[in-house]
Amino acid sequence: MQDFDGGDYKQDWEDAIDSLVALEAAFKFKDSRKSISTTSRPDAVGAWIKSARKDSIPKDIKGTEPMTFGNAVLEWWNAAQPEWRGLMEEDLTEGGWPREVQGQWGKLRCPGVNGMYSMIACMRWWGMLSCQAEKTPGNLWKMALEDMVWVMDTMAAGEEEPPTKKTPRRYSI
């Protein structure tokens, strides 16, 4: 993710990378077999995974209109949200995902490369496409990235709490 610096939003991009690293550290850098929901996931993500994540930008999206890919990322981000946080499709370009935790994180709580790493990779590709076409990712990109940072920071803070110890069951024979 080093060949994209965020353009005019360099600090926002660096904050996102820092938040991703902090989240993975909170997960103790575990890699899970679980993945963020694939519902509405851009096809480029599957192709990127099949290519062992070696392309800096998947061939499938080179030359794609930035907003076409951006809208696909927003749809995936929204589909991955827990029920208490999702938006109506017509509200996606306005953003406004709730910033108050009202339940469990569900499939967003997924350590490793199949979790937020893949979502941030999509933000990178969207940013790269935007920079190639317009020289800046734009406010919608920034809004989505800021929301992802909030989610990662909030999940990381929750992971730092010690887990509740369960009392071992005692079986009588």
Q: Kindly write down the DSSP assignment for every residue of 33-92, as one continuous string.
A: S--S--TT--HHHHHHHHTTT--SS-GGGTT--HHHHHHHHHHHHHHHS-TTT---GGGT
pTM of this prediction? 0.85
96, 141, 161 from 117: Cα distances, Å:
22, 16, 22
| Residue range 147-157: mean pLDDT, rounded | 96
Could you read off the pLDDT of 122-150 as tens digits, one per residue? 999 999 998 888 777 889 999 999 999 99
